[in-house]
Structure formats: structure tokens, C-alpha cells
Amino acid sequence: MHDDVQKILIDEAAIQRRIAELGAELNAAYDDEDVPIFVCVLKGAFLFLADLVRHLRFRHEIDFMVVSSYGDATRSSGIVRILLDLERSIEGRHVVVVEDIVDTGYTIDYILRNLASRHPASLRIATLLNKPSRRKVEVPLDFVGFEVPDEFVIGYGLDYAQQYRNLPYIGVLKPSCYSDEP
């Protein structure tokens, strides 16, 4: 375990088992006719997307958005910015937004409203983690890996100050390693 991790919440094997289950749910929901576009919300979702799509058995496409809402603070600012937009149009297409975590919901709510205005055929959300205790805005989650408690989680794509994304598990950061100072 990394020195800055207080405890492991979800270990590597549990993450991979659950992602295989989510892949099976997606295989039941879509087929080759749909050719859905998986929209990976960077940076946090990059590992989840990479592992998830390896379970998919239907034709699909992948695109990326870079969205930032946190800066280097540990709490959401509520301000969402699109730093890099999708390459292709999603008009008339089935879309699955892939997130690492839904916390306050501000980010995914903004993304959903933004993508809905582009008139996709359907719009669903797959998130590895859900932290419902911190929700500020209700969002419909279609595919959810795990519910997590209100702790500062890192690893498997999730960062603190852009670090720890490489950890293969979801862990809790030691309080001595972060500060909420602006």
C-alpha cells in the first residue's frame, strides 16, 4: 500500500470483478445496431474506460472530453469547464458518458445538459463510483460500480493534486497529505 494511503476501500480484484459485471450489463443493453459512443470524461475516467471497453461485445466508438471542476482543492467548486470537447457529433447517436465518480453531481449534471442539447438518440451514464451523501443536484445514474462513503478517495484514475491516479485500487488519502486551503 502507498505510504499516503490511510486504507484501501476497494481492492484491485473487486474493481475488476465489478467492471466485468458492468460490461455484462452493457452487453445486455446495447447491440451492434446501436454503435453507441462512449464519452470518457477525462482525466479521472481513463482507467475505468480502458478496462470497461475490453468487456464490450458490441460495436461502439470512443470519444473524450476534458472537464475540470475541482482545481487542486479536495471539494467541488461547482464551476464546471469544458477544456476539450468531443471530436465528433453525437446527434442521433446513442451515448454513454463514462465517469470515475459522481460526488456533488455538478459535473455530470453540466455534461448531461450540454450533451442533451446536441440531440443524441439516448444519453446514459456509467460511473465507477457514486458518493450519494454529497449530492447537491439529482442526476440519473444508469450503470454504477460502487457506492462510497464521504471520504477523500484516490486511485484508479482519481487524483489528489493530479497525483495517485495510477494506484490500482480505490484508497482513502491520509488527512496529513492534503489541505483544503485555497
76 contributes a contact to ligand PRP by CB under 6 A: yes
Site for ligand PRP in 134-173 (CB under 6 A): 159
C-beta of 5 vs 153, nearer to ligand PRP: 153
CB of 65 to ligand PRP, least distance (A): 10
Question: In the numeric block, which cell numbers belong to residue 26?
Answer: 452493457
Strand 170-173's sheet: what is its strand order?
5-10, 170-173, 153-154
Site for ligand PRP in 44-73 (CB under 6 A): 44, 67-70
C-beta of 30 vs 130, nearer to ligand PRP: 130
Residue 142 among the catalytic residues: no
C-beta of 30 vs 102, nearer to ligand PRP: 102
Site for ligand PRP in 107-136 (CB under 6 A): 107-108
C-beta of 24 vs 78, nearer to ligand PRP: 78
Please, which residues have CB within 8 angstroms of residue 37's CB and are 6 or more apart in sequence?
Answer: 60, 61, 62, 63, 88, 90, 93, 94, 95, 96
Would you tell me the crossing angle of helices 46-53 and 12-29 to the nearest 10 degrees?
A: 60
Q: How far is CA 56 from CA 59, 60, 123, 127, 140, in A?
A: 8, 8, 18, 16, 22
102 contributes a contact to ligand PRP by CB under 6 A: yes
CB of 83 to ligand PRP, least distance (A): 9
Please, which residues have CB within 8 angstroms of residue 120's CB and are 6 or more apart in sequence?
Answer: 90, 91, 92, 93, 94, 95
74 contributes a contact to ligand PRP by CB under 6 A: no
Grid cell 477525462 is found at 42
41 contributes a contact to ligand PRP by CB under 6 A: yes
What residues are annotated to the active site? 103
By the criterion CB under 6 A, which residues form the site for ligand PRP? 41, 43-44, 67-70, 76, 99-108, 159
